[in-house]
């Protein structure tokens, strides 16, 4: 996308202004992802933001605010417009009641929250992107808020814009922004959104993940159960099914290996600012066929959440081959 834009000379026609816009592209993408919950939609809105900024460059007034604030205002307007027509996204655990682990899988006609590959985020530690605010659990929690509440919460609590800057970005008054922020915080508490414990160190997390992958490849359900927390949550968009509990997890994985076989090939990846994950390839003839992308939440007590995705658009975003020989 960047290369295409550069080839057309859209945002690079005047190098100085183009560079000012481009340096914010990654953090704008992270912001739009939080707002929209979709990798593809976020990429489109960021591209639209850059185009709008370039076309309106002569109207930019540095006395009214920084280039960064101006760009966030353009991006926010584009996100709010997109949300009016497309609505929010969710995960099954925030949409329907918990199901029996052995109940038939039921596909849901819904726009699902998507994970974002870390390859699109650069280095969150080196930017204002913020790792924890990109986690799937937080991105899912944001879907319980109205569009403007979501914007106020992200701009103030995540990106640390001042109340006046946020008001400028949202084209609102400071009083309105403060009110939206209070309602957003209260709404998150009311929904009872599951709060994940603090993450372990990178080395400790690595141990949990390596053991889980090994147990999965061996189809060792008892080993998997020893690596998950007592209240582990599993969900599987686009299926509506989701459940909690170590025992239920074991029942479901027994069923998976009985139905789909015990010969798997796994490829590791990371998503949402460092969450570990893997692509699971199921044996198919002489090779392996892509089955799911699984994103793990790891705590000091074990793996507390497994979000399992089966969506060609997500597979494409992560650059996963459909088959491996």
| Final residue of a structural domain among 49, 64, 87 | 87
C-alpha distances in Å from residue 313, one per residue of 29, 95, 190 = 17, 21, 32
Domain for residue 236, yes or no?
yes
Domain for residue 212, yes or no?
yes
Residue 214 is part of a domain; what is its CATH number?
3.10.450.50
Measured distance CA(87)–CA(129) in Å, rounded: 24
> SS3 for the chain, per residue?
CHHHHHHHCCCCCCHHHHHHHHCCHHHHHHHHHHHHCCHHHHHHHHHHHHHHHHHCHHHCCCCCCCHHHHHHHHHHHHHHHHHHHHCCCECHHHCCCCCCCCCCCCECCCCECCCCEHHHCCCHHHCCCCCHHHCHHHHHHHCCCCHHHHHHHHHHHHCCCCHHHHHHHHCCCHHHHHHHHHHHHHHHHHCCCCCCCCCCCHHHHHHHHHHHHHHHHCCCHHHHHHCEEEEEEEECCCECCEEECHHHHHHHHHHHHHHHCCCEEEEEEEECCCEEEEEEEEEECCEEEEEEEEEEEEECCEEEEEEEECCHHHHHHCCCCCEEC
Domain for residue 237, yes or no?
yes
> How many independent structural domains does the chain possess?
2
pLDDT at 311: 95
Domain for residue 313, yes or no?
yes
- Beta pairing partners, 242: 235
Domain for residue 128, yes or no?
no
Residue 21 is part of a domain; what is its CATH number?
1.10.1740.10
Measured distance CA(54)–CA(51) in Å, rounded: 5
Domain for residue 158, yes or no?
no
Domain for residue 242, yes or no?
yes
51-72 per-position pLDDT tens digit: 999 888 878 777 777 889 999 9
| Final residue of a structural domain among 87, 118, 150 | 87
Domain for residue 217, yes or no?
yes
| Final residue of a structural domain among 87, 109, 134 | 87
For the chain, which residues score pLDDT lower than 50? 1-13
pLDDT at 9: 37
Parent domain of 221: 202-324
237-272 per-position pLDDT tens digit: 999 999 999 999 999 999 999 999 999 999 999 999
């Amino acid at each position: 996308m960047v290369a295409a834009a550069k080839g057309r000379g859209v945002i690079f026609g005047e190098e100085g202004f183009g560079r000012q816009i481009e340096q914010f592209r990654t953090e704008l993408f992270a912001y739009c992802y939080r707002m929209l919950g979709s990798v593809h939609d976020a990429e489109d809105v960021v591209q639209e933001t850059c185009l709008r900024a370039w076309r309106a460059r002569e109207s930019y007034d540095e006395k009214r605010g920084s280039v960064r604030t101006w760009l966030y205002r353009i991006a926010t307007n584009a996100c709010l417009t997109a949300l009016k027509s497309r609505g929010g996204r969710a995960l099954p655990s925030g949409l329907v009641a918990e199901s029996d682990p052995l109940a038939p899988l039921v596909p849901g006609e819904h726009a699902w929250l998507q994970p974002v590959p870390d390859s699109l985020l650069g280095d969150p530690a080196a930017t204002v992107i913020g790792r924890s605010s990109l986690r799937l659990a937080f991105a899912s929690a944001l879907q319980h808020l109205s569009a403007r509440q979501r914007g106020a919460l992200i701009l103030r609590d995540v990106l640390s814009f001042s109340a006046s800057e946020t008001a400028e970005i949202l084209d609102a008054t400071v009083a309105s922004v403060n009110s939206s922020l209070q309602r957003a915080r209260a709404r998150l508490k009311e929904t009872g959104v599951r709060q994940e414990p603090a993450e372990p160190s990178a080395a400790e997390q690595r141990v949990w993940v390596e053991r889980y992958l090994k147990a999965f490849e061996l189809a060792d359900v008892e080993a998997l159960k020893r690596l998950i927390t007592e209240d582990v949550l599993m969900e599987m968009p686009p299926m509506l099914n989701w459940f909690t509990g170590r025992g239920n997890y074991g029942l479901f994985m027994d069923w998976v290996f009985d139905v789909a076989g015990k010969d798997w090939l796994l490829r590791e990846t990371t998503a949402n600012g460092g969450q570990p994950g893997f692509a699971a390839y199921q044996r198919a003839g002489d090779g392996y066929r892509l089955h799911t992308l699984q994103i793990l939440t790891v705590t000091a007590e074990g793996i507390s959440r497994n979000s399992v995705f089966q969506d060609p658009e997500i597979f494409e975003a992560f650059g996963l081959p459909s088959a491996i020989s």
